[in-house]
Amino acid sequence: MALQVLLRSVLEWTDVQSLLLFLLVFLLISDHFRRRNPKNFPPGPWALPFLGNVFHLDTKQPHIHFNELVKCYGNVFSLHLGGVNTVVVNGYSLVKEALINQGSTFADRPDCPLNRRINNCQGIAFNNGYSWKQATAGNSRFTVSTLRDFGVGKRSLESQILEEIKFLHQAVLEKSVCAFLREEIENHQKDWDPSAPRDFIDCYLSEIEKRRDDPEAGFHEEGLCYCMLDLFVAGTETTSTTLLWAFIYMMKYPEIQGR
């Protein structure tokens, strides 16, 4: 009651324009303190309030724009993407130092509410915290070793992939990728035999049984679905982008193509 009386009295003595000006100044000051760079934070371009450097980036040719930023600020610089402070590392030696030699220091991911709402931070790509560390150490290692056991990386598997892609393409046309993956998991669970694994899903179901006592590790049916989705995305978009860059590089440097 006392607060309402106080607000009413303030509004009586303050016009609308003054109130809006006060709110604007308050928001600008709060945004400044919220985005204030910590000590030894890398340099970077000047950022707009609230928006940061979102409109400063060249979305059509980001690699060229980033090279210009490297020339101006060095191989380690910062960007403000909305309300997120971002550090960009450029160059093989620095990336290796950050992600390999100092991997434990950077072994975490920002908590994004959007990712949590979409996929509940499952799988490998969007996981976080304890389950992400277990997924990185467990899921990744398990996934790579299992796929190698089934012949991934060998030329002999090429004919089988070309045959299976026909059925996958037809299934994706009839339903969404997530619906297709969930249906495949359910079909595998019906006639799953731990002693005779047929593919990656069977092996993952066996791993789930081994880790029943540690549900936070990320090995469960939902994690299997998102892990397969990560593999699906990683095996399409990243592969096509790598091939595109390889073709462009060879077109620009014919002597490389000759090798």
pLDDT tens sequence across 47-67: 888 888 888 788 888 888 889
CA distance 52 to 64: 20
CA distance 92 to 141: 23
Domain ranges of the chain: 1-34, 41-106, 117-252
Pair of tokens at residue 85: 């402070």
Q: Does residue 111 carry a pLDDT above 90? A: no
Average pLDDT (127-132) is 64
Q: Bigger pLDDT: 151 or 249? A: 249
Q: Number of helices and strands (H, E) in the chain?
A: 13, 2
Average pLDDT (32-47) is 83
Residue with tokens 């030699």: 101
Q: Does residue 10 carry a pLDDT above 70? A: no
* Orientation of helix 200-210 relative to helix 221-234, angle to 10°: 140
* Residue 75 pLDDT grade (very low, low, confident, very high; cuts 50, 70, 90): very high
Report the pLDDT value the prediction gives residue 194, as an integer from 0 to 100: 87
